[in-house]
């Protein structure tokens, strides 16, 4: 039908790539008689995205327009949706103001949890029209501080910028995020706080003193409720004040405001306690019947707040058809802020470790608490400012320290080496990546593995070239050799660290099914061996250098004896190696002898699954010469009987016990040792049990659970 008509193309109107504007009115006129319901005319570039973006008008699932109550904010205000004052009755006015504050807190938490600002906080008409609250000092100052806070949080998250989640979070769609004079919000809020504290003092004063303070007008009209409402308002206002201070203190360069931020965090937490305590009072004095129980209500009183309409903004929302979203309950919102503040407190109490290894460990430990976007964005901004660690330590200095370069190299020309500058960039992007959510983090880590592999080769080449030139003319040769050796070992160690983190995150994200555990543990095993090897080598080389500093002969002999002991860090890795090996072999033996977790699918084999899971590692040759064949070779002969005599779990348990003394000062590593001991012990017992009973008893069921360690599974044996 379409090809019968010539469509006049108009080249004078600019258009996108490979597209032109055309006048289709004649085409439409011709076809509208023929077209039936549900048919469409489309160009060749009509794709899935276009099809999915199409809306069916008047379908309530898609047409956001038909669910709007008001056409515009102005219409809503004209219809009395956001009155000022909220009520002529001053008691009711206070009650309603508190409801707005509570609902805004719930909206803010919902926004932090990943919904759009437009559909959450800015569903509040009072925020959308800053001018209408001018006559209501309390509401006015509160709205100002909310806008300022949202603004501060948006800027932190958009500055951090590596987050996938950020898309929706920082979209502000032309919302009035910056009202006139919002920067003065704290002084306005302070004035309101002062007034209410005086009102509170006045109502609490004994009768004899009443006269002296009589000139203070009470907050509202019911003397019995004065104290309760003053208190309920004060903790809400103070929370906002301190929270605002937390954000500004944390923003200060080089972590200079962290100590102050901690004080405000403590205040925020205690105000949140007071807010929670106000629940009973607010519920019992709620105006009218507001339903029973707090349940999933968004206010402490349980009442619907005045002045909110989420549908007003729905045309401003995401490009997909907007859905109605569920605002978190008031209780959940308070819990969210408590969690956020605790997470921020962990960041603020961090010692700004100058050693990269310490930084990485801190972030990994921090991520165990599953912090949300806002906390992670703050951490990232603290770690990387102006391309420096904490905005303080130049990246080359950080690398020198991490790779234990000799002191003199700090001022060495080597840091101008182009490849080393690139290495610095890789370190910065690594720091940013490990601050993102686990799903995103794993994908990014997988991708940068290749970069770390490539930079190793580039460094090797570049050092060879550069030092080749130097060696003939200068006495620097020895130093340069040392620098290159140290950096190369360190880069390899780092690469294997990233690889092991990539593999381990797969457990947290539940990407592995039990049938795949065997190959995953095998891969963790081979990667950990390399990691331990490189870590050990790095420590040996740095010891060598350290010793040269004119020590006496006697000490040198002592040190030599020390060197023969394997460092505790390496032994800890050895525990992981044993656990991974033990699990690999136990899983392989179970499959070989008991047909547990058969891996047959109709369309492919275990080989394809291996390729898919480890594609990124294989591409980067991490480790070298490792393939599906080597996995098969090391597991096809696994038998339970041989595993019992050579029990890796026992070895892991033994080393973990011995390591206790070395890590007695380090609670995190002590906890890890305990987890290792537990998982090793249970698996050792399970292994014995299966090998004794297994062949006799077909009703025995073996499955794996993560009850003792986050990524080393515990075998559970049960009769079915």
Kindly state the smallest distance separating residue 315's Cβ from another protein, in Å: 17
Q: If binding is defined by CB under 8 A, does position 319 make contact with another protein?
A: no
The nearer residue to another protein, 409 or 436, going by C-beta atoms, is 436
Tokens of 486: 């140290």
CB proximity list for 720: less than 8 A, separation 6 or greater: 699, 700, 701
Count of residues touching another protein (by CB under 8 A): 56
Site for another protein in 103-132 (CB under 8 A): 113-115
Shortest separation between residue 121's beta carbon and another protein, angstroms: 17
The span of 10-18, 265-273, 480-488, 606-614 binding another protein (CB under 8 A) equals 606-614
Of 603, 698, 719, 720, which one interacts with another protein (CB under 8 A)? 603
Handedness of CA 459, 465, 469, 471 (dihedral sign): positive
43 lies in the site for another protein, by CB under 8 A: no
| Closest among 215, 187, 181 to 201, alpha carbons compared | 215
> In terms of CB distance, is 115 or 242 closer to another protein?
115
Q: Which two tokens stand for residue 502?
A: 């990539």
Q: Which is nearer to another protein, 260 or 439 (CB)?
A: 439
Q: Can you spell out the DSSP letters for 345-370?
A: HHHHT----SSHHHHHHHHHHHHTT-
In this complex, which beta carbon is closest to another protein, that of residue 176 or of residue 515? 515
Nearer to another protein, 164 or 386 (CB): 164
Q: How far is the CB of 172 from another protein (least distance, A)?
A: 19
Q: 373 to each of 110, 114, 160, 443, how far by Cα in Å?
A: 12, 8, 10, 17
Give the separation between CA 305 and CA 303, rounded to whole angstroms: 6
Give DSSP secondary structure letters for 305-320.
Answer: PSSB-GGGGGGGS-SS
What is the enclosing helix (H) or strand (E) of 160? helix 137-160
- Pattern 132-171, another protein, x by CB under 8 A: --------------------------------xx------
**From 182, 343, 345, 516, residue interacting with another protein (rule: CB under 8 A):** 516
Q: Determine the interface stretch with another protein among 13-21, 186-194, 385-393, 597-605 (rule: CB under 8 A).
A: 597-605
Binding mask 322-341 for another protein (x = CB under 8 A): -x------------------
Q: Phi, psi (5° rounding) for residue 388?
A: -120, 155
Instruction: Please identify, using beta-carbon distances, which residue of 64 and 249 lies nearer to another protein.
Output: 64
Note whether 40 binds another protein by CB under 8 A: yes
Tokens 């290894």 found at: 357
Q: Which of 269, 282, 344 is nearest to 102 (CA)?
A: 282
Burial (CB < 10 A; 0-12, 13-18, 19+), residue 476, is: middle
285 touching another protein, by CB under 8 A = no
Candidate list 61, 549, 718, 719; residue touching another protein; CB under 8 A? 61
Going from the C-alpha of 341 to that of each of 115, 167, 269, 382, the distances in angstroms are 20, 23, 7, 16
| Number of residues in the chain | 720
58 is a contact residue toward another protein (CB under 8 A): no
Name the 3-class secondary structure at 78. Answer: helix
Rounded Cα distance between 466 and 478, Å, is 13
Q: Tell whether residue 51 is a contact of another protein (CB under 8 A).
A: yes
Angle, CA of 603, 609 and 611, to the nearest 5°: 120
d(CA 155, CA 484): 40
Give me the residue label for tokens 């709205």. 143
Interior angle at CA 648, CA 645 and CA 651, nearest 5: 105
The nearest distance, CB 502 to another protein, in angstroms, is 12
Using the rule CB under 8 A, give the single segment among 92-100, 355-363, 603-611, 687-695 that binds another protein: 603-611
> Do the beta carbons of residue 702 and residue 596 sit within 8 Å?
yes
| Alpha carbon distance 193, 208 (integer Å) | 25
Which of these ranges, 58-66, 553-561, 662-670, 684-692, lies near another protein under the rule CB under 8 A?
58-66
Strand partners, 704: 715
Of 270-278, 329-337, 438-446, 465-473, the window that binds another protein (rule: CB under 8 A) is: 438-446
User: In this complex, which beta carbon is closest to another protein, that of residue 55 or of residue 556?
Assistant: 55
User: Which residue, among 386, 504, 363, has the nearest Cα to 446 in the 3D structure?
Assistant: 504
Q: Which of residues 252 and 637 has its CB atom nearest to another protein in the complex?
A: 637
Q: In this chain, which of 10, 35, 59, 75 binds another protein, going by CB under 8 A?
A: 59
59 versus 259: smaller Cβ distance to another protein: 59
Nearest to 502 by CA among 433, 434, 442: 442
Distance, in Å, from the CA atom of 521 to the CA atom of 524, rounded to the nearest integer, reads 5
Q: Which of these ranges, 38-46, 354-362, 408-416, 663-671, lies near another protein under the rule CB under 8 A?
A: 38-46
Shortest distance (Å) from residue 449 CB to another protein:
15
Which of 26/642 has CB closer to another protein?
Answer: 642
CB neighbours of 336 closer than 8 A, spacing ≥ 6? 109, 112, 113, 328, 372
Which of 87, 338, 592, 618 is close enough to bind another protein by CB under 8 A? Answer: 592
Restricted to residues 612-631, the positions that interact with another protein (CB under 8 A) are 612-613, 629
Helices (H), 252-296: 258-284
Which of 243/523 has CB closer to another protein? Answer: 523
Strand-pair partners of 10: 21
Residue 372 touches another protein, criterion: CB under 8 A: no
Stretch that binds another protein, among 45-53, 95-103, 405-413, 654-662 (CB under 8 A): 45-53
Q: Binding residue for another protein (CB under 8 A) from 17, 600, 698, 718?
A: 600
Q: Which is nearer to another protein, 26 or 605 (CB)?
A: 605
Contact set with another protein (CB under 8 A): 38, 40, 46-48, 50-52, 54-56, 59, 61-62, 113-115, 164-165, 320-321, 323, 437-440, 442-443, 509-513, 515-516, 591-592, 598-609, 611-613, 629, 632, 636-637
């Amino acid at each position: 039908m379409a090809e019968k008509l010539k469509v006049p193309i108009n080249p004078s109107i600019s258009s996108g790539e490979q597209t032109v504007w055309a006048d289709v009115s004649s085409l439409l006129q011709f076809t509208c008689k023929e077209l039936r319901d549900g048919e469409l005319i489309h160009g060749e570039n009509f794709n899935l995205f276009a099809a999915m973006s199409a809306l069916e008008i008047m379908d309530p699932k898609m047409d956001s327009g038909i669910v709007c109550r008001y056409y515009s904010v102005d219409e809503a205000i004209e219809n009395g949706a956001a009155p000022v004052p909220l009520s002529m009755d001053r008691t009711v006015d206070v009650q309603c103001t508190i409801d707005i504050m509570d609902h805004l807190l719930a909206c803010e938490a919902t926004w932090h949890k990943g919904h759009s600002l437009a559909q959450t906080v800015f569903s509040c008409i009072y925020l959308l029209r800053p001018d209408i609250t001018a006559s209501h000092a309390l509401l006015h100052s509160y709205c100002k501080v909310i806008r300022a806070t949202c603004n501060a949080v948006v800027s932190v998250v958009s500055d951090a910028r590596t987050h996938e989640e950020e898309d929706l979070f920082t979209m502000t769609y032309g919302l009035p995020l910056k009202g006139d004079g919002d920067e003065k919000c704290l002084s306005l809020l302070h004035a309101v706080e002062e007034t209410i504290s005086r009102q509170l003092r006045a109502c609490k004063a004994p009768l004899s003193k009443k006269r002296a303070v009589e000139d203070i007008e009470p907050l509202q009209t019911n003397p019995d409720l004065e104290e309760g409402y003053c208190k309920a308002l004060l903790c809400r206002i103070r929370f906002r004040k301190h929270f605002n201070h937390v954000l500004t203190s944390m923003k200060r360069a080089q972590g200079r405001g962290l100590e102050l931020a901690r004080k405000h965090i403590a205040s925020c937490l205690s105000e949140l306690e007071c807010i929670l305590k106000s629940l009973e009072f607010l519920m019992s004095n709620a105006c009218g019947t507001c339903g029973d129980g707090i349940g999933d209500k968004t206010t402490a009183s349980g009442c619907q707040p005045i002045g909110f309409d989420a549908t007003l903004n729905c045309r401003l929302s995401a490009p997909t058809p907007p859905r109605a979203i569920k605002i978190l309950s008031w209780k959940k919102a308070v819990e969210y802020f408590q969690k956020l503040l605790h997470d921020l407190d962990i960041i603020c109490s961090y010692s700004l470790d100058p050693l990269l290894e310490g930084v990485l460990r801190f972030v990994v430990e921090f991520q165990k608490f599953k912090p949300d976007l806002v906390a992670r964005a703050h951490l990232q901004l603290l770690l990387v400012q102006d391309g420096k660690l904490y905005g303080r330590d130049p990246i080359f200095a950080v690398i020198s320290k991490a790779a234990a370069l000799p002191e003199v190299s700090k001022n060495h020309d080597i840091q101008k080496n182009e490849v080393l500058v690139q290495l610095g960039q890789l370190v910065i992007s690594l720091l940013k990546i490990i601050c993102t959510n686990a799903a995103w983090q794993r994908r990014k880590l997988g991708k940068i593995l290749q970069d770390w592999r490539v930079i190793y080769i580039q460094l090797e080449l570049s050092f060879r070239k550069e030092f080749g030139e130097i060696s003939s003319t200068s006495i620097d040769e020895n130093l340069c050799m040392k620098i290159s050796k140290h950096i190369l070992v360190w880069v390899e160690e780092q690469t294997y660290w990233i690889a092991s983190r990539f593999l381990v995150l797969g457990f947290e994200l539940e990407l592995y099914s039990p049938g795949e555990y065997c190959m995953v543990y095998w891969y963790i095993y081979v990667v950990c061996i390399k990691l331990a090897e490189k870590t050990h080598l790095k420590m040996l080389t740095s010891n060598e250098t350290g010793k040269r500093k004119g020590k006496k002969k006697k000490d040198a002999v002592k040190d030599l004896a020390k060197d023969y002991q394997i460092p505790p860090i390496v032994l800890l890795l050895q525990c992981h190696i044993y656990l991974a090996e033990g699990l690999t072999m136990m899983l392989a033996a179970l499959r070989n002898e008991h047909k547990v977790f058969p891996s047959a699918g109709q369309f492919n084999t275990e080989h394809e699954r291996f390729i898919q899971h480890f594609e990124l590692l294989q591409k980067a040759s991490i480790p070298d010469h490792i393939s599906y064949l080597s996995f098969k070779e090391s597991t096809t002969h696994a038998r339970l009987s041989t595993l019992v005599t050579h029990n890796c779990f026992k070895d892991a348990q033994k080393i973990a016990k011995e390591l206790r003394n070395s890590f007695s000062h380090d609670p995190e590593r002590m906890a890890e040792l305990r987890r290792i001991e537990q998982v090793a012990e249970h698996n050792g017992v399970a292994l014995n049990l299966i090998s004794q009973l297994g062949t006799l008893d077909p009703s025995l069921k073996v499955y794996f659970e993560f009850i003792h360690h986050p990524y080393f599974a515990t075998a559970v044996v049960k009769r079915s």
